[in-house]
A and B are shown apart, each in its own frame.
Chain A
Amino acid sequence: MNSGNAHSVRTGRFDRLVGVLHKDMYRYAVWLSRDPSIAEEVVQEALLRAWKSLDALREDEAARQWVITIVRRENARYFERKRLETVDIDNLTPAQAGMMVAGDDSELNELREAIYKLEDDYREPLVLQVLMGHSTREIAAVMGIKPGAVLTRLHRARHKLKAVVEEAES
């Protein structure tokens, strides 16, 4: 294969993977950072990293796990670079507030706000399990904690959200 063809094959593969995965990348980034504008920056950096290291991904079946790792890393780099401590949940930017209100379903918006306010340690495993379909062991590997700790955080996260929903209903 000459270098022109190889480049074209590489570009085609990257476009296919990104086409399938970029929504997951963005949603994971937005729930990690809790800020749509930061998420967009993180995804841009993650796409560049993914492009540069695409040859390291041997099996496309592992691509979701691979890009999630890259997004998580880029998010950490972003916050380290900017020296941002946390998002101030009491003083939201318009973009942050807009993220929580989508449509007329007020109960859903309240649930989204409750997820937004969950501690990082609870929110991230929930996003990885529900949105990304990660197994407990995969979440444990991403977060560097034991599978038992993942399960504990998940059940506590759902109990918190359940309480919010029940309070809203009453």
Chain B
Amino acid sequence: MSSAGQKMNCNDYQEAIAADPSESFDGGAEHVSSCQPCSSYRDEIRALNDRIAQALMVDTPELKMPELPPIEVDSNVVNLPFGRLTTPTWIGIAASVAIAVVFGARFLGGDVQELSLADELLAHLDYEPWALQVSTQQVSNYSLNDVLSADVADIGGLGLITYATTCVIHGNLVPHIVLQGEKGPITLLLMPEEMVDGLTPVIGDGIEGVIIPVGNGSIAIIGNRDEMLDKYQQQVIDAVKWTI
């Protein structure tokens, strides 16, 4: 939690332990080993945390399983060998440490910062890895229409659509669609309420794309780094009807 090269002071430690009672942040154990007040404070926070855990464990009702509709079983799905999923472990660890240092330093500043739209999209893709699969199984029209009415966008002609759901991006529910490109899955996020100033690059580990302004909203198209996304961009823009 301490910035690189700086020892943690009591204020920093007490904020950090209140955020993370497991004390997984850098410099915490070193500080507390020589600071009795912070050691006591840590004990208080951990005791409080135990009580919070107890308080959160509200009684649960018996499981009532809804009636489950029959589903066509998909046997044609394989995981996408994305570069970022095969990144050597040491790079991941190094990246985590770097992120911890950067965000730790910001945390000590105390400001609550929102992610940029591009960062949020990348974080969202990381959080839903199951969406990024190579598949030959088209989602049903029912599922697609449920997520994206043809009045909003008619993307049926874009290609094989293998994932369609609604996600929360910047506080708005938006259609999250995945279609199969030549190099792997391509993610489309249609954000009619999210304005961007101009073409905004989205660059992740092994993936990249762009957020395109469309009317009062925008569309994100993100795919494997080798994918030629240009050919999909105009098709997607043409398919979207919220600009009319």
Interface positions of A (Cβ within 8 A of B): 1, 3, 6-7, 10-11, 14, 18-19, 22-23, 26-27, 30-31, 36, 40, 44, 47-49, 51-58, 62, 65-66, 69, 72-73, 76-77, 80, 99, 102, 107-108, 111-112, 115, 126-127, 130-131, 136-138, 140-142, 144-155, 158-159, 161-162, 165
Which residue of chain A is the closest to B140 with respect to CB atoms?
Answer: A52
Q: State in angstroms the CA–CA spacing of A127 and B115 once bound together.
A: 21
Contact A30 B58 (CB under 8 A): yes
B127 touches A142 (CB 8 A): yes
Tell me if B226 counts as interface (CB < 8 A to partner A). Answer: no
17 sampled A-B residue pairs with Cβ under 8 A: A7-B73, A18-B65, A27-B57, A40-B64, A47-B65, A47-B66, A51-B66, A55-B74, A58-B79, A62-B130, A73-B173, A137-B96, A144-B169, A151-B107, A155-B19, A162-B45, A162-B48
Structural contact, A145 and B112, CB atoms closer than 8 A: yes
A144 touches B123 (CB 8 A): yes
Q: Which of B51, B58, B107, B169 interacts with A102 by CB under 8 Å?
A: B58
Could you say which of A19, A26, A165 contacts B48, with CB atoms under 8 Å apart? A165
15 extra interface residue pairs, beta carbon distance < 8 Å, beyond A54-B71, A55-B74: A10-B71, A31-B56, A48-B66, A51-B69, A52-B143, A58-B77, A73-B166, A112-B56, A148-B104, A148-B107, A149-B114, A151-B19, A155-B19, A158-B19, A165-B51
**Given contact pairs A55-B77, A73-B165, A148-B103, A141 touches B127 in the complex (Cβ within 8 A):** yes
Cβ-defined contact, A154 with B70, below 8 A: no
Inter-chain contacts of A140 with B (CB < 8 A): 115, 123
A23 near B60 (CB under 8 angstroms)? yes
- Taking CB atoms, residues of chain A closer than 8 Å to B77 are 55, 58
A62-B129, A142-B127, A145-B112 known; A102 vs B59 contact (CB < 8 Å): yes
Residues on B facing A (Cβ under 8 Å): 15-16, 18-20, 44-45, 48-49, 51-61, 63-66, 68-71, 73-75, 77, 79, 96, 99-100, 103-104, 106-107, 109-115, 119-120, 123-124, 126-131, 133, 137, 143, 163, 165-171, 173
Given A149-B113, A153-B112: A115 and B55 within 8 A (CB)?
Answer: yes
Asked if A146 and B115 make an inter-chain contact with CB atoms under 8 angstroms apart, the answer reads: yes
The count of A-to-B residue pairs whose CB atoms sit within 8 angstroms is: 183
Q: Are A52 and B71 in contact (CB under 8 A)?
A: yes
Chain A CB count within 10 A is highest, among B15, B44, B127, B173, for: B127
